[in-house]
Amino acid sequence: MTIHDTFAGAQFAASIANLAESRGMRLQVGDDFQHYADMVAELRADQPLGDPFNLEKQELTPENAFWVAGWDRRGNLVHTQAVRRLQIATNLADYLGRKFRAFPPSGVALDKARSTYTPGPGARRIRGVVCYHGEAWLRAGKGGFRGTGIAGALARFAMTSAVLRWSPDYIFCFVPEGLAFRGLVEREGYMHTDPGALSWKLREGGELRGFMGWMGREDLTHMMGIPTETLLVA
């Protein structure tokens, strides 16, 4: 990452934090995942802590993971997301072919043995320093921030923070198929998707299908050049 990219990224992240503040949300960044787990358990009842960011299942340190929390003016938790750094020597398709079950949706009873991962062309190109972006949550209901257009700006804040910390080669996420069809992947700033990447079988029958969104280094640089004021279009 060049000095110009670092400066542009820092400006972009700061402008999003200021934008969130103007809408009544204060952003906090941390890397203590025990504190994060306690915070989620107490204040995010509708979405349990996900396995990829659970200290009981992953080794999470300040060198490989961080979280973002958003607080409203009354001190209520209204937003979370987290990013984890991976080092992938082969490619993401191979890595997830072996380990996709470590990235399940939270709060759902799954039959992991019958669930499947189908890599797309993008996953076969992704390698090197790769970041997983997850734990996305935005408070619903009265006084919440859903429907305000801020979700896309917040996702870009986390991705830019990852760029400033680790200068990754790629960032990827998983999005439920229904939300992907409604444009969530694009609203969050992802410029590429692998449709039908995940099929999570439910214990009681049925399935949850998911898309994989991803960005390369050039995509991330482009994202950080988009004017902040355009990000709140609902």
Q: Is a pLDDT exceeding 60 seen at residue 81? A: yes
50 pairs with which residues across the strands?
A: none
Q: How far apart are CA 147 and CA 181, in angstroms?
A: 16
Q: How far apart are CA 47 and CA 136, in angstroms?
A: 10
pLDDT at residue 116 in the model: 97
pLDDT at residue 234 in the model: 44
pLDDT at residue 142 in the model: 63
CATH number at residue 188: 3.40.630.30
Q: What is the pLDDT of residues 21-41, one digit of tens each?
A: 998 999 999 999 999 999 999
Q: How far apart are CA 28 and CA 157, in angstroms?
A: 11
Angle at 42 between CA 39 and CA 47, to 5 degrees: 85
Report the Cα–Cα distance between both ends of the chain, in Å, rounded. Answer: 31
Name the DSSP letter for residue 104.
P
pLDDT at residue 143 in the model: 61
Return the CA Rg of the chain. 17
Q: What is the pLDDT of residues 120-159, one digit of tens each?
A: 999 999 999 999 999 999 987 666 677 777 888 999 999 9
pLDDT at residue 130 in the model: 98
Q: What is the pLDDT of residues 91-119, one digit of tens each?
A: 999 999 999 999 999 989 999 999 999 99
The token duo for 7 is 């400066």
Q: Is a pLDDT exceeding 90 seen at residue 202? A: yes
Question: For residue 155, which phi and psi values (nearest 5 degrees)?
Answer: -60, -40
Mean pLDDT on 81-89: 97
pLDDT at residue 184 in the model: 82
CA distances from 187 to 41, 184, 198 (A): 28, 5, 20
pLDDT at residue 225 in the model: 86
Q: What is the pLDDT of residues 36-63, one digit of tens each?
A: 999 999 999 899 999 999 999 999 999 9
Pairing assessment for the beta strands 170-176 and 128-138 based on DSSP bridges: parallel
Cα torsion 90, 93, 96, 98: sign: negative
CB contact at 8 A, 40 and 80 = yes
Q: Is a pLDDT exceeding 90 seen at residue 182? A: no
pLDDT at residue 40 in the model: 97
CB contact at 8 A, 173 and 130 = no
C-alpha closest to that of 108 among 212, 202, 12, 211: 202
* Number of structural domains the chain divides into: 1
Pairing assessment for the beta strands 77-88 and 192-202 based on DSSP bridges: unpaired
Q: How far apart are CA 167 and CA 122, in angstroms?
A: 19
3-state secondary structure of 110: strand
Range of the domain at 220: 3-230
Amino acid making up residue 40: V
